[in-house]
């Protein structure tokens, strides 16, 4: 967070700081070894002295931030003394006169290396907000060598998000998008469930404050009823577990607001219809030798009291998740007809579930603890890919992030070795997982002794023997067949190498043409060709020549004047005139950015989330100096901003013309005679809306469909949703979060209403 020097620390503030320091030592007490207290005190004194005259935006002394991060590291992650020392010192090298040499002299090389890694993480974005690809490569390599760097950074990010109220809205949104893009997936992959959950809720609070407040209110209003149900539900379970002589803790735990909101959006249902807002957790206090059998005993007792859903049993005890998570999950029917999720774990499994990879430091040396080896494999793969100089770091981050939340499947090599793969993996993914060279030459596989193509999607329990050919090589189409970051990275590296070879062929061919025409092969002579054909770069031109798309005879369209190549005069085409007319029409709607001394710039209403007047929106300035307007919960905008670091601007709707904006509605209900007539009568008759299309599918007495209509604003849309919900036989109606793409040409109404360059913004100078 931004800091500024100010007045010295007051006596009252010193008392607060001392209290926080004592609480840190109290949290550390179970882990302290001889000499640890002295080292922690030294780290605190160095940090206190270095940050003595610095304050946060809230006005509080800056030292309270590293103290809070250290406390998180000690109590919620459990890293131990080295982690706490690094947390206390994590901002000193970047913000103060303390050097890495000072830290290494006082605390040793391991601490200095972690601080160095934390300092590099702070430099992901430059002053303009653009991502520094080489810094990300260093960060990910640091992660793969010492994961404590990212564990401390996650604690740092969590405390920053907890204290964002004093920061400007643009800074809040930028921090939230970074968190969604990289830190939440990393927390998930490292098994830090507690931290991941809070990060998700804090991001929701920033990006969709209205939704967050609504969910908070609903949770508060239903608290008494929920707690009464939980107590009545777990009472018979407790009694039976006590009779069986099992030492357990049984309690209900509310799920995160973000996960409840995801279910509401995915299923198109209101808060009241989300059945699994909480889960019952049963923690068994068992020694490692009997913890598995004791968990199954608990499951047996629970299933005798409540009827389980056989399709909802998840056994992550026999085969833990790749992030080390171990538990039994089942869903049972309560006596009053409600489905309830139950999670069964041992105390050791619970520590791993909450602290993830950090629990490795608590259970290291325990032969029954296997989570660290799985994650160590994953970290090794990151290192292997990133140490390849051909790897494009930003592409890798995108692909790698996609795999972080994936469900997993378990497959076997011909010798019976278990491999954990993301769900949806193909034979090709498996081949690259074994070895890069095996993947490049893969032509198929024997899956359970049957020949299958490279596109075959693996199933749980498959045994795979990869088949290869020396003549095989990767193609562009392979990128559509694989899902793992490693496979995509290796394929892209090969294709880039092949592309460079073709570019050199095209360059040499064109250079020969220029020589025959006695022309210098210079950028000045290449530019007229690029401009004439609308080609983005010289490399694109060379590549087109290399693969035969661009005919060298096309150079005859140009004249040679002296030592310069000049394009012949070219008249404007019909397409040019149509584009000019279209851009003139697209100046009806207006959005404005807060700020004085504004100038007008073009803006685009994003096609991915289709914002309409009344939506909470924000904009970012792209590389063309245009402002792209997205809804604040748009996942694509989050990814774009995080990847390229575009500046964010605060936006609001001002003058709203009666313009139609295309949006989509998902609807389902009982299939009845005349249902389409009832729906269209409300849209076209009652509300006088224009409808682009309606698509309904009927099966087993139910229908599901999507309607695309033109609305003026969110009030107009909500009016339609309410009227449709009141129709007899309609079960669910909700707005589509992302409008499906349609084929064919846009209508004039669409073009004027919401296509690119839809208006102007006032942008601060």
* Measured distance CA(113)–CA(376) in Å, rounded: 19
Contact (CB, 8 A) for 237 and 251? no
Confidence grade of residue 212 (pLDDT, cut at 50, 70, 90): very high
Q: Give DSSP secondary structure letters for 632-681.
A: TT-HHHHHHHHHH-PPEEEEEE-S--S--EEEEEEEEEE--TTHHHHHHI
Contact (CB, 8 A) for 312 and 295? no
Q: Which secondary structure element, helix H or strand E, spans residue 243, and what is its range?
A: helix 223-243
165 among known catalytic residues: no
Which tokens sit at 16?
Answer: 């607060």
Beta pairing partners, 646: none
Q: How far is CA 91 from CA 70, 151, 368, 681, in A?
A: 12, 15, 37, 63
* Measured distance CA(389)–CA(403) in Å, rounded: 22
Which of 13, 94, 285, 498 is an active site residue? 94
* Measured distance CA(762)–CA(765) in Å, rounded: 9
**Average pLDDT over every residue of 321-330:** 84
pLDDT of residue 600: 43
Q: Which of 546, 542, 569 is nearest to 558 (CA)?
A: 569
Instruction: Give the least confident one: 86-95, 325-334, 567-576.
Output: 567-576
Confidence grade of residue 493 (pLDDT, cut at 50, 70, 90): confident
Q: pLDDT tens, 741-750?
A: 443 333 322 3
Confidence grade of residue 94 (pLDDT, cut at 50, 70, 90): confident
Instruction: Give the least confident one: 344-348, 508-512, 587-591.
Output: 587-591
Residues contacting 763, CB < 8 A, separation 6+: 593, 595, 598, 599, 600, 601, 621, 627, 649
Q: pLDDT tens, 14-42?
A: 898 999 999 988 888 877 888 888 999 99
Which of 23, 95, 671, 746 is an active site residue? 95
The mean pLDDT of the chain is 77
Residue 402 in this model has a pLDDT that exceeds 80: no
Residue 276 in this model has a pLDDT that exceeds 60: yes
Which tokens sit at 613?
Answer: 């007047």
Matching residue, tokens 């970290």: 379
336 among known catalytic residues: no
* Measured distance CA(554)–CA(530) in Å, rounded: 12
User: 29 versus 297: which is more confidently predicted?
Assistant: 297
**Average pLDDT over every residue of 458-482:** 88
Which tokens sit at 480?
Answer: 């559509």
Confidence grade of residue 85 (pLDDT, cut at 50, 70, 90): very high
Dihedral angle, C-alpha 395, 399, 469, 549, nearest 10 °: -40
Confidence grade of residue 137 (pLDDT, cut at 50, 70, 90): low
Residue ranges and CATH numbers for the domains of the chain are: 3-207 (1.10.3210.10), 219-369 (3.30.460.10), 373-476 (3.10.20.30), 493-566 (no CATH), 571-765 (3.30.70.260)
Q: pLDDT tens, 691-717?
A: 888 888 887 778 888 998 888 778 888
Give, rounded to a whole angstrom, the gap between the first and last alpha carbons of the chain.
Answer: 25
Q: pLDDT tens, 716-743?
A: 888 899 899 888 888 888 888 654 444 3
- Does the pTM surpass 0.85? The reply is no
Matching residue, tokens 């009545």: 232
List % helix, strand, coil for the chain (3-state, nearest 5): 50, 20, 30
Q: Which of 417, 464, 474 is nearest to 444 (CA)?
A: 464
3-state SS track over 250-305: EEEEECCHHHHHHHHHHHCCCHHHCCCCEEEEEEECCCCCCHHHHHHHHHHHHHHH
């Amino acid at each position: 967070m931004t800091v500024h020097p100010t007045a010295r620390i007051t006596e009252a503030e010193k008392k607060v700081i001392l209290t926080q320091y004592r609480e840190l030592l109290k949290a550390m007490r179970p882990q302290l070894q001889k000499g640890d207290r002295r080292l922690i005190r030294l780290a605190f004194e160095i940090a206190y002295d270095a940050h003595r005259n610095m304050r946060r935006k809230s006005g509080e002394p800056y030292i309270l931030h590293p103290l809070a991060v250290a406390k998180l590291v000690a109590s919620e992650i459990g890293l131990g003394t080295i982690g706490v020392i690094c947390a206390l010192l994590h901002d000193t090298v970047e913000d103060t006169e303390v050097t890495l040499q000072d830290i290494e002299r006082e605390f040793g090389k391991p601490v200095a290396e972690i601080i160095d890694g934390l300092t590099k993480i702070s430099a992901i974005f430059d002053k303009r907000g653009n991502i520094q690809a080489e810094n990300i490569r260093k960060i990910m390599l640091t992660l793969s060598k010492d994961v404590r760097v990212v564990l401390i950074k996650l604690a740092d990010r969590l405390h920053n998000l907890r204290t964002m109220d004093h920061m400007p809205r643009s800074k809040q949104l930028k921090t939230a998008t970074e968190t969604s893009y990289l830190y939440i997936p990393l927390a998930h992959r490292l098994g830090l469930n507690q931290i991941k959950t809070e990060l998700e809720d804090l991001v929701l609070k920033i990006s969709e404050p209205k939704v967050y407040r609504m969910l908070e209110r609903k949770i508060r209003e239903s608290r008494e009823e929920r707690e009464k149900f939980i107590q009545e539900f777990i009472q018979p379970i407790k009694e039976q577990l006590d009779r069986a002589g099992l030492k357990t803790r049984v309690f209900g735990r509310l799920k995160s607001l973000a996960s409840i909101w995801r279910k509401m959006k995915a299923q198109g249902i209101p808060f009241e219809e989300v059945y699994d807002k909480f889960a019952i957790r049963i923690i068994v206090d068992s020694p490692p030798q009997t913890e598995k059998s004791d968990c199954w005993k608990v499951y047996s007792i629970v299933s005798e009291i409540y009827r389980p859903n056989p399709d909802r049993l998840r056994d992550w005890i026999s085969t833990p998740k790749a992030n080390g998570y171990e538990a039994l999950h089942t869903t049972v029917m309560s006596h009053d007809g409600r489905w309830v999720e139950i999670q069964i774990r041992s105390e050791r499994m619970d520590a791993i579930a909450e602290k993830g990879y950090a629990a490795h430091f608590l259970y290291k040396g325990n032969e029954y603890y296997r989570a660290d080896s799985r994650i160590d494999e994953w970290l090794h793969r990151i290192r292997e890919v990133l140490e390849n100089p051909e790897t494009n770091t930003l592409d890798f981050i995108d692909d790698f992030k996609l795999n972080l939340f994936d469900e997993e499947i378990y497959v076997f090599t011909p010798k019976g070795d278990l491999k954990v793969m993301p769900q949806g993996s193909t034979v090709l993914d498996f081949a690259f997982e074994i070895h890069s060279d095996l993947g490049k030459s893969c032509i198929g596989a024997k899956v359970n002794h049957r020949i299958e193509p490279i596109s075959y999607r693996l199933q749980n329990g498959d045994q795979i023997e990869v088949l290869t050919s020396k003549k095989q090589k990767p193609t562009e189409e392979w990128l559509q067949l694989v899902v793992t970051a490693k496979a995509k990275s290796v394929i892209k590296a090969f294709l880039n190498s092949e592309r460079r070879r073709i570019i050199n062929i095209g360059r040499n061919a064109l250079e020969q043409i220029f020589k025959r025409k006695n022309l210098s092969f210079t950028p000045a002579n290449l530019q007229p060709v690029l401009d004439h054909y609308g080609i983005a770069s010289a490399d694109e031109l060379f590549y087109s020549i290399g693969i035969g798309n661009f005919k060298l005879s096309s150079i005859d369209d140009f004249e040679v004047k002296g030592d310069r190549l000049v394009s012949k005069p070219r008249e404007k085409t019909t397409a040019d005139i149509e584009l000019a007319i279209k851009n003139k029409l697209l100046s009806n709607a207006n959005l404005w950015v807060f700020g004085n001394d504004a100038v007008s710039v073009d803006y685009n209403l994003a096609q991915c989330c289709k914002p309409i007047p009344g939506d909470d929106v924000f904009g970012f300035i792209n590389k063309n100096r245009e402002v792209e307007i997205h809804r604040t919960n748009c996942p694509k905008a989050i990814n774009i901003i995080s990847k390229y670091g575009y500046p964010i601007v605060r936006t609001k709707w001002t003058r709203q013309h009666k313009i139609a904006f295309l949006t989509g509605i998902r609807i389902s209900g009982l299939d009845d005679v005349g249902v389409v007539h009832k729906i269209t009568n409300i849209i076209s008759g009652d509300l006088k809306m224009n409808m682009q299309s309606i698509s309904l599918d009927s099966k087993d007495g139910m229908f599901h469909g999507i309607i695309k209509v033109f609305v003026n604003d969110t009030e107009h849309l909500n009016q339609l949703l309410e009227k449709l919900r009141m129709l007899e036989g309609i079960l669910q109606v909700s707005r589509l979060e992302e409008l499906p793409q349609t084929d064919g040409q846009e209508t004039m109404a669409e073009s004027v209403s919401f296509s690119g360059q839809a208006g102007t913004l006032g942008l601060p100078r």
